[in-house]
Amino acid sequence: MGWVLAVIALTVDTAPATLVIEGMEGRLVDLSPALKKIGESVLEDARNQIVSQGALFGGGWAEMSPLTSVVATKLYKRGRDPRTLLQDTRGLLNSLTPGDTNNISEVTPASASFGSAYVSARTGWGIAAVQQQGSSRTFHVLEGDGYSEPGIPPRPFLTWREEQAPVYEGILAEHVLGATA
């Protein structure tokens, strides 16, 4: 998985499998339709992970600071519930939908990347990347004396789930067998 500035993406590279298929069949099989299906599944899981607050794959995310709603109210001039902060504007959720301007869905015949380039329109801050990786940055809040807000704990929403590997392998195998028949 790669992380560059404000982008978070899961990359699938099938180059070794493509070489095996090419060697067996004497030709290269375009895996992009299968990779697109896998990516759509990964992105759907990511959206569901956000909606479930990290509980979709067991466990859950660390609670947001109780001061989060105070900070959000100060920044956005309206109250925000820390439990639904990642869902309220739908920006992060939408960015995990193919076709959205902040979505990453790049597919080639042998590899693919899926994720989000969602950033704050106000600050340019990489919201998607920070939610995925967390931040050790401490934020100074409000005017005057104010107070400091601790960094954001990681809330991974875009993950490769090993238990899904057989499903993904099945999608690839079905495509290859159909393409070579």
User: So what's the pLDDT on residue 51?
Assistant: 85
Centre a 10 Å sphere on the Cβ of residue 80 and count the other Cβ atoms it contains.
18
Distance between CA 46 and CA 44 in Å, rounded?
5
Q: Identify whether the C-beta of residue 2 lies closer than 8 Å to the C-beta of residue 122.
A: no
Domain boundary assignment for the chain: 2-180
Q: Which residue has the tokens 């309220």?
A: 88
pLDDT by 10s per residue, the chain, length 181: 333 345 666 777 665 555 445 544 545 678 899 999 999 999 999 999 888 888 877 777 777 766 666 666 776 666 666 666 666 678 889 999 999 999 999 998 888 899 999 988 877 878 888 888 877 665 555 555 555 666 677 888 888 888 888 888 889 888 877 765 4
User: So what's the pLDDT on residue 5?
Assistant: 42
Pairing of strands 147-149, 139-141: antiparallel
Closest residue by Cα to residue 119 from 93, 155, 91: 91
User: So what's the pLDDT on residue 2?
Assistant: 38
pTM: 0.75
User: Checking phi first, is residue 124 left (phi over 0); if not, alpha (psi -120 to 50) or beta?
Assistant: left
